[in-house]
Amino acid sequence: KNEVEQSPQNLTAQEGEFITINCSYSVGISALHWLQQHPGGGIVSLFMLSSGKKKHGRLIATINIQEKHSSLHITASHPRDSAVYICAVRSMETSGSRLTFGEGTQLTVNP
């Protein structure tokens, strides 16, 4: 079982819908990252969280350390949001700066 589980694996939405992607992890962490991988393959860091909530434009990321759970929300979704969204954690139990990744959520937003 992967230390980082994401749901759903695939998500299809209509333009304008509110989207939530979930990430659960089983280890103590020092930080959690949300990444976006474009259809062309490039990876961009969206958020890095250790507590609470962060907002950037239409994207909101939250984390609940006690429940070992994070969510990525997209408000007023747009076809250009179509991408793979990846959750990754920096475990406190491992040394160095290793990230452990979830398997990603493929989001498709239809016009």
Partner 1 sequence: DTAVSQTPKYLVTQMGNDKSIKCEQNLGHDTMYWYKQDSKKFLKIMFSYNNKELIINETVPNRFSPKSPDKAHLNLHINSLELGDSAVYFCASSQSRRAYNEQFFGPGTRLTVL
81 phi/psi in degrees, rounded to 5: -80, -10
Residue 68 DSSP one-character state:
T
Give whichever of 9 and 14 is closer to partner 1, judged by the CB atom: 9
Token pair in block for residue 47: 């958020």
Q: Which of 31, 65, 68, 71 binds partner 1 (CB under 8 A)?
A: 31
- CA dihedral of 103, 107, 108, 109, whole degrees rounded to 10: 180
Q: Which of 43, 64, 75, 108 binds partner 1 (CB under 8 A)?
A: 43
Contact between 45 and partner 1 by CB under 8 A: the answer reads: yes
Q: Print the binding letters for residues 51-80 with partner 1: x by CB under 8 A, - otherwise.
A: ------------------------------
Token pair in block for residue 102: 């979830």
Least CB distance from residue 76 to partner 1, whole Å? 25
Q: Which of 20, 24, 37, 62 binds partner 1 (CB under 8 A)?
A: 37
The number of C-alpha atoms within 13 Å of 52 and in the hemisphere containing its C-beta is 3
Contact between 104 and partner 1 by CB under 8 A: the answer reads: yes
Question: CA 65 to CA 76: how far, in whole Å?
Answer: 27
